[in-house]
Amino acid sequence: MFYSLSAGVANGSQAMKPAGAAANRSLTRRAPGTSVRLFLCGDVMTGRAIDQIMPYPGDPKLHEPFVKSAKKYLALAEKASGPIPRSVSPSYVWGDALAELDRTRPDVRIVNLETTVTTAGDPWPDKPVHYRMNPANLPCLSAAKIDCCTLANNHILDWGYPGLKETLARLHAAGIRTAGAGANLAEARAPSVIQLATGKRVLVFAYGSASAGIPASWVARARQAGVSTIDEEDPSAVSNVTTAIRAVKRPGDLAIVSIHWGSNWGYEIPSAQRSVAHRLIDEAGVDVVYGHSSHHPRPIEVHSGKLILYGCGDFLNDYEGIGHHPEYRPELGLMYLPDLDAESGRLKRLMLVPIRVRKLRVNRANAEEANWLREMLEREGRAFDTSFSLTRDGSLELVNQ
């Protein structure tokens, strides 16, 4: 997934309205040890304009066809939404999401990081957009207590192999696990293993697809760094993932497979993606299929009691003021908070917190925005037999799992 300025900008942005004041307190109540709550979200991009507002902005020079400085994206965001502070605190970009995380207390927090964390390397040739964040600004990820960053996406090698090497080193030094990229194929395919206080383990496997724009040259090999990939059109692809999972998964473990796949725009789910998601659950014993790459949320499915997120949409980016595809309302996104049965991995409950990116930070969506997301998920979810209700505090809840 990438987004750059190529034509047109938005004319403005409506002022945010506060969400309902009544808290959905029941979301925090869980019998100890009976379920595992996850926090998942769409793509997190902390480069370009977002990097520029942090305490240690990196070199703003860009290598894009239309924009040559990250400061241009910052100017567009301010034109759309008003003044944005500089030298912000590490928590600034997460905005209202931090209060939601404190309230819902997920056991595991996973994001797809679409930004290298490096000052090393050169921009990958023949690629229109390159994202990176100054490593000195890494506390912005620690501020949200992220457990794992999946990296099998189409930006993690934007600054070449030196950039990937530094990104991995910086994240690991900060205590953040990674999955989907490594110094060789074995490292790229290895899962992130998250040990819970209950003794349970959550395994995170991550794969990327050419359908999301990952170059063939980025595929990790036995003696070459890169990303772990999956070809949803290849019938043997699921068999390979099944072998990898069975080699690691123990009784009682929960397995999450992150896949960066598909187009940036549109709600249609290709039959090949649906087949892969079902087979991952039926054959590989996967408990959650965590898809992303689209710029907006896509339909949700529950198959054999297991959660499939076909496209989580963007969560954090610097796209304010770029007027592309307003019909999809790409400024809107979701926090995904599934509760899984601790023993079976089956979905017990799914809550979604509607958000909107404004002033380069995550804000709680207002009532109209939350209802628009609900109606969209209802409409697009009919083919998947999923329906959602709006709770008192403006969250969405899956009602027919």
Within-domain flag for 162: yes
Burial letters 317-332, b for 16+ CB under 10 A, else e: bbbbbbebeeebbbbb
Within-domain flag for 156: yes
Within-domain flag for 4: no
Please list the pLDDT of the chain residue by residue as tens digits (401 residues). 555 554 333 333 333 333 333 334 445 556 667 999 999 999 999 999 999 999 999 999 999 999 999 999 999 999 999 999 999 999 999 999 999 999 999 999 999 999 999 999 999 999 999 999 999 999 999 999 999 999 999 999 999 999 999 999 999 999 999 999 999 999 999 999 999 999 999 999 999 999 999 999 999 999 999 999 999 999 899 999 999 999 999 999 999 999 999 999 999 999 999 999 999 999 999 999 999 999 999 999 999 999 999 999 999 999 999 988 999 999 999 999 999 999 999 999 999 999 999 999 999 999 999 999 999 999 999 999 999 999 999 999 999 75
Within-domain flag for 134: yes
Q: Which residues pair with 38 in a beta bridge?
A: 108
Within-domain flag for 44: yes
Number of helices (H) and strands (E) in the chain: give both, helices first: 9, 20
Structure tokens at 52: 């520029």
Q: CB of 114 within 8 A of CB of 45?
A: yes
Name the helix (H) or strand (E) containing 181. strand 181-182
Q: Give CB contacts under 8 A, 24+ apart, made by 24-31.
A: 24/351, 24/391, 24/392, 24/393, 24/395, 27/103, 27/104, 27/337, 27/351, 27/395, 28/103, 28/104, 28/105, 30/339
Distance between CA atoms of residues 188 and 174, nearest Å: 19
Q: Which amino acid is at 54?
A: M
Within-domain flag for 10: no
110 lies in which domain range? 39-398
Q: CB of 397 within 8 A of CB of 347?
A: no
CA 98 → CA 39, 40, 207, 362, distances in Å?
12, 13, 27, 9
Structural domain total, the chain: 1
Within-domain flag for 106: yes
Within-domain flag for 283: yes
What CATH number should be reported for the domain holding residue 48?
Answer: 3.60.21.10
Distance between CA atoms of residues 204 and 194, nearest Å: 8
Provide CB contacts within 8 A for 98, sequence distance 6+.
91, 143, 144
Angle at 98 between CA 381 and CA 73, to 5 degrees: 80
Distance between CA atoms of residues 396 and 388, nearest Å: 6
Q: What is the pTM of this model?
A: 0.93
Residue 267, phi then psi, degrees to nearest 5? -100, -15
**246: three-class secondary structure by DSSP:** helix
